[in-house]
Structure 1
Amino acid sequence: MQIDLTNKTALITGATGQLGRVMARTLAKCGANIAIHYRSNEAQALELQDEIHSFGSRAVIVQADVTNLESILGMKAVIEENLGTVDIVVANAVVQYQWTSILEQAPEDYASQFDSCVMQSVYLAKAFAPAMMEQKWGRFVGINTECVMQNFPTQSAYIAGKRGMDGVYRVLAKEIGEHQITVNQVAPGWTISERDRANKTEHSESYEQTVPLKRRGTDQEIANAVAFLASDLASFITGAYVPVSGGNVMPSI
C-alpha cells in the first residue's frame, strides 16, 4: 500500500514557505503535478519548480494574492493552461504579522487573518470546487494550527482567522461531499523547519515537555499527513481537523 497521486494536479498556496515547499516536494514524489503558488518569492518558486521536475513531475509557478478572488481566478487560468484541472487544493498561505495582546493588536491584523484564512478558503472553493464536482473527485486540505485549541495570549488574531477557516471547511465538507470531494484540515504543532535546522533551533525543552511524544514534529511529518488526506487512502475521511502535534492538543468527543 502506498500513496499514489499519479495523474493528479495539486495546488499548494504558500508553496515557497517553510512548510509549503516540503508539501510540494512530497506530493510530487507521490506522483502529482504541482502548481507552486507564491506571493513574492519568485526565486524560491523557480528553485522548487526545478526540484519537482527532477522528481519526474510537472510543475508551474503561479503568482497570486490569495485574499483576492480575481487574482485566484487568474492563477486558475494559468494552472489549467499548463497542467489541466486542479484535483487537490492545499490552502497553506497565511499573512504574517507581529503577535501581541488584544489590547495592543492593530485592527488591520485581524482583517489580514480573516482575509488570508477565511476568504482564501472561500475563494479557493469558488474557483476549484466546480471542476471537482464535475469529475466526481477532489480534495481540499486546509492548514490550520494547534493554536486554535490552546488560546494562548498574543494569538488572538491568528486564532480568530483559523477558527473562521475551520467553520468554512466544515460547512464545505457537507455541501460538496456528495460529489466525492473531501474537505479536511491538518493542524501542525510547533514544527521543525529548514530554517530551524539551519539556525540550530530544533529543540525547545519547555515546549517539548508539554508534548506527550516529548519532541517537536518535523515539516516532513506535516507533509505526510497532507499527502495521506490528498490520496484515495483517505477517501472516506471528510470534515476532519487532524492535529499533527505529537498529542499536544487532543480534540474531544
Structure 2
Amino acid sequence: MKIDLSGQTALVTGATGELGRVIVRTLAESGADIALHYHSNETKAAELKNVVEALGRRAVAVQADVTKQDAVQALKQSIETSLGHVDIVVANAVAQYKWTSVLEQPAEDYASQFDSCVMQSVYLAKAFIPGMIERKGGRFIGINTECSMQNFPSQSAYVAGKRGMDGVYRVLAKEVGEHQITVNQVAPGWTISERERTNGIAESSDYIRNVPLRRRGTDQEIANAVAFLASDLASFITGAYIPVNGGNVMPAI
C-alpha cells in the first residue's frame, strides 16, 4: 500500500508556516496539486510554489485572512480559477500571541484564537464542503494540539480556541459523513521544525520525560499523519482526534 493523492487538489492554510511547509511538500510528493494559502509571507509562498512545481505538481499561492468569511470565499474562487475544485482541506493556520495566565491574558487573544481556530474551520467548511457533497467525497482535516488535553497554565486562550474547534469537527463529521466526506483532526505535540534544526533544538528533557517514546516528534511525522488522513487508506476514519506526540496524551474511552 502507498499513499497516492494523484488527481487530487489540496488546500493548506498557513502553508508558509513551519509545519505548513512540510505538509505542503508531503502532499505534493504524494501526488496532490496544492493551493497554498498565506496571510502575509508572500516571498515564502512563492518559494514554496516553486518547490511544489519542481515536484511535477500544479500549485497556486493565494493570500487571504481566513478569519473573514468573504476572504475565504474569495480564496475559493481564486483556487477554482487556477486549479479547479478542492478535494482536501487542511486547516493549519492559527494566530500567534504571547501566552500568559488567565488573569493577565488580554481578552483580544481569546477572540483571535476563536476566530483562527473555530471560525476559520466554519468558513472553510461553508466554502468547500458543498462541492464535496456534490462530488460525494472529500477530506477535511484540522490541525489541533495536544494542549487541548493538557490544560496547562498559560495555555487558556489556545486551549479554548482548539477545544472549540474540536467541537465543530466532531459535529461536522456526523453531518457530512453520509456524503463520504471524512472530518478529522491531527494533534501534534511539541514538534521539532526546520527553525530548530537551523538554530538549535531546544532543551526538552522535562518534556520528554513524560513521553512514552522518550523523544519529540518531527514536522515530517505530523505531515505523514495528515497525508494518511487525506488518502483512501483512511476512508473509514472520521470524527477522530489523533494525537501525534509519542503518547504524551492519550484520549480515553
SS at match of 2:60: strand
> How far does residue 203 in structure 1 lie from its aligned partner after superposition?
4.5
Matching residue of 1:204 = 204
d(CA) in 2 for partners of 1:251, 1:213: 17
Residue 79 in structure 1 maps to residue 88 in structure 2: no
Does the CA-based 8 Å contact 1:145-1:187 persist in structure 2? yes
SS of 1:94 mapped into structure 2: coil
Provide the secondary structure at the position in 1 that maps to 2:18: coil
Q: Deviations over 1:132-161 (max 9, x none)?
A: 000011000000000010000000000000
**Superposition map of 1:166-181 within 5 A:** 166-181=166-181
Match of 1:151 in 2: 151
- For structure 2, the residue ranges without an aligned partner over 5 or more in a row are none
Paired residue secondary structure (1:167): helix
- The aligned residue for residue 162 of structure 1 is 162
Secondary structure at the aligned position of 2:210 is classed as coil
Amino acid at match of 2:51: E
Structure 1 runs of 4+ aligned residues shifted over 6 Å read: none
Normalised by the length of structure 1, the TM-score is 0.99
Distance (whole Å) between structure 1 residues aligned to residue 210 and residue 59 of structure 2: 39
**Which residue is 2:238 aligned to?**
238
Amino acid at match of 1:93: A
**SS in structure 1 opposite 2:185?**
strand
Q: Distance in 2 between matches of 1:85 and 1:50?
A: 21
CA displacement, residues 40-72 of structure 1 (integer Å, 9 cap, x when unaligned): 000000000000001110000010001000000
Contact 1:13 1:93 in 2 (8 A): yes
The count of residues paired between Structure 1 and Structure 2 equals: 253
Query: Quick check: 1:55 aligned with 2:46?
Result: no
Which residue does the alignment assign to 1:36?
Answer: 36
2:11 — aligned with what? 11
Q: Which residue of 1 aligns with 2:252?
A: 252
Kindly indicate whether residue 114 of structure 2 is the aligned counterpart of residue 114 of structure 1.
yes
TM-score by length of 2: 0.99
2:249 maps to 1:227: no
Q: Which residue is equivalent to 1:103?
A: 103
Which residue matches 1:91? Answer: 91
CA-CA distance at 1:222 after TM superposition:
0.1
Distance 1:181 1:85 in 2: 15
8 Å CA contact 1:172–1:183 kept in 2: the answer is: yes
Give a deviation string over 1:143-197, Cα, whole Å, max 9, x none: 0000010000000000000000000000000000000000000000000000010
1:19 alignment partner, SS class = helix
Which whole-Å CA distance do the structure 1 matches of 2:73 and 2:63 have between them? 11
Q: Deviations over 1:59-88 (max 9, x none)?
A: 000100010000000010010001000000
Deviation at 1:199, TM superposition (A): 1.0
Question: 2 CA distance for matches of 1:191 and 1:208?
Answer: 11
3-state secondary structure, aligned to 1:102: coil
Q: Residues 204-245 of structure 1, C-alpha deviation per residue, up to 9 Å, x if partnerless?
A: 111111110000000000000000000000000000000000
Name the counterpart of 1:132. Answer: 132
* 1:189 maps to 2:213: no
CA separation in 1, counterparts of 2:163 and 2:92? 15
For 2:65, the equivalent position in structure 1 comes to 65
CA distance in 1, matches of 2:149, 2:204: 20
Q: Which amino acid aligns with 2:79?
A: I
Report the CA distance between 1:202 and its aligned residue.
Answer: 5.0
Partner Cα distance (2:78, 2:119) in 1: 21
In structure 1, the gaps of 5 or more residues are none
Counterpart residue identity of residue 66, structure 1: V
